[in-house]
Amino acid sequence: MRIAQVSPLYESVPPRLYGGTERVVSWLTEELVRQGHEVSLFASGDSLTNARLVPVCPKALRLDPNCIDPLAHHIHLLEQVLQQKEEFDVIHFHIDYLHFCLSRREELPQLTTLHGRLDIPDLVPLYREFSEMPVVSISYAQRAPLPWVNWQGTVHHGMPEDRFVPGLEPGKYLAVLGRISPEKGVDRAIEIALGAEMPLKIAAKVDKTDREYFEARIKPMLDHELIEFLGEISDLEKNEFLGNATAFLFPINWSEPFGIVLIEAIACGLPVVAYPLGSVPEIIEEGVSGFLVESVDDAVKAVKNISKIDRRKCRKAFERRFSDRRMAHDYLTIYERIVKREPQPIALTDGDLRWMKLEPPSSTT
């Protein structure tokens, strides 16, 4: 199959440091190429891929000090895709709704994976207008605010099984990985570590928009001998960081659409202690890959009982449910149905696409 993957340009594919969407695009692209498909990747010029790379801008926009208007680059991206549209059987967008006006008028054989949060009131009129656009959710929980759009399936993210070597021996510290912002609950993670009297290592970036929150709320909590702030780490550093930890803390306070760090942790055999919000109950199997808790006190108890989790079974849970092969299989099933213009399916379980009639959007807002 001739497939176009259209990535955001903020990070390279794969990203050098933090970057969720671009990392998933890389995993999917490389697995599709490995399976013999003809794949073109529209991305920043510093991306690394075995697909045909269409470099829309020289480098990742977030790391380019000369980039002032990222939207301009994304409009250029859309033009590049449209100029080559006849070369593809299906075009897979990862740039949210940016292309909807053009895709509607061009009648492109296309699919959009929605990677972000959908519980934003501003999105409702937009998705009512473009309710025919074929979209994929990355968790069932992500769909809740917009259950009536043209869902083609739910495809949980998957990553290469050889990406991380599991650490099967108990670690010596608790771990937090990702980004510091109010919804990520890093302050709760610190409280959990102190309650459990265990060291905590925080490997996370701080965006400009969250700098004030970091300075006011998180930085004062770092002044403790048990707490170590490492800042943003590279992909190459993740395996050692996660593999040597005792447990991964994920005490979020928002409806997480997926949480790539969760599958990275369990791929390392690292059990997770998390709040059961958003996608978390879909990813973490209670007693197998971690514990779901409702409070800091419950999390402290879970940390103290973390040895009950078999790290080998934790790793097996990753292999069973979150490989790039499974993800590519699910997407290929959807691609084929789009090309054949068949009715939309919904993914009810991992790798199991079944039919379900969707309710049309209401005429009222």
At a CB cut-off of 8 Å and minimum separation 6, what does 193 contact?
174, 199, 200, 226, 227, 249
State the DSSP code for 302: H
pTM: 0.89
pLDDT of residue 17: 73
State the DSSP code for 46: T
Using one digit for the tens of pLDDT, what is the confidence trace for 102-114? 999 998 899 999 9
Using one digit for the tens of pLDDT, what is the confidence trace for 273-292? 999 999 999 999 999 999 99
**What does the domain layout of the chain look like in residue ranges?**
2-160+324-355, 174-321
Helix (H) or strand (E) holding 39: strand 38-43
The first and second tokens of residue 158, run together, are 């998957």
Report the greatest alpha carbon distance in the chain.
Answer: 60
Residue 327, exposed/middle/buried by CB under 10 A (0-12, 13-18, 19+)?
Answer: buried
Contact between residue 31 and residue 327 where contact means Cβ atoms under 8 Å apart: yes
Contact between residue 154 and residue 346 where contact means Cβ atoms under 8 Å apart: yes
pLDDT above 80: residue 22: yes
pLDDT of residue 345: 54
Using one digit for the tens of pLDDT, what is the confidence trace for 136-178? 999 999 999 999 999 999 999 999 999 999 988 888 999 999 9
Q: What is the mean pLDDT of residues 293-301?
A: 97
pLDDT of residue 352: 42
- At CA 306, angle to CA 301 and CA 308, rounded to 5? 115
At a CB cut-off of 8 Å and minimum separation 6, what does 305 contact?
291
The first and second tokens of residue 296, run together, are 């800091």
2 DSSP β-pair partners: 38
Q: Give the CA count within 13 Å in the CB-facing half-sphere of 252.
A: 24
CATH top-level class for 174-321? Answer: alpha beta
Using one digit for the tens of pLDDT, what is the confidence trace for 191-242? 999 999 999 999 999 988 999 999 999 999 999 999 999 998 888 899 999 9
Q: Quote the CATH superfamily of domain 2-160+324-355.
A: Glycogen Phosphorylase B; (3.40.50.2000)
Question: What does the alpha-carbon distance between residue 186 and residue 218 come to, in Å, rounded to a whole number?
Answer: 7
The first and second tokens of residue 47, run together, are 């991306």
Residue 134: Cβ within 10 Å count:
18
